[in-house]
Amino acid sequence: MIESGLTTSVSLAMLGLAGFGYHKYYKHLVLSKIDKAFDPGDPVLTLAAKGQQGRTAIEVEDQNQEEKW
C-alpha cells in the first residue's frame, strides 16, 4: 500500500512538473513570436504603410465600405 501511494505521488509530481515546464516553454514561444511580428522591417507592415500613405482614415473607411458592396 505504501509503494502504491509513493508511486502515485511521484507520478503526479512528475506530471505537474512536466505541465509547468510546458506552460513556461509555450508562453515564451508565443511571446517571442508576438515580439518578432512587430519588429521594424516587417515587409507586410511596410507595404501596408505605403498603400495607405497620403490618405485619410475617412477615405480608407469609404473605400472599405465600397468594396463590401
Of the pLDDT bands very low, low, confident and very high (cuts 50, 70, 90), residue 36 is confident
* pLDDT for residue 38: 79
Query: At 15, is the secondary structure helix, strand, or coil?
Result: helix
In terms of Cβ atoms closer than 10 Å to its own Cβ (0-12, 13-18, 19+), residue 20 is exposed
Q: How far apart are CA 21 and CA 1, in angstroms?
A: 30
Q: Which residues of 25-56 are buried (b: 16+ CB within 10 A; e: fewer)?
A: eeeeeeeeeeeeeeeeeeeeeeeeeeeeeeee
**Rounded percentage of the chain residues whose pLDDT exceeds 70:** 61
Q: How far apart are CA 65 and CA 63, in angstroms?
A: 5
Q: Does 69 score more than 60 pLDDT? A: no
* pLDDT for residue 7: 96
Task: Please state the domain extents for the chain.
Answer: 24-69
Q: What is the pTM of this model?
A: 0.51
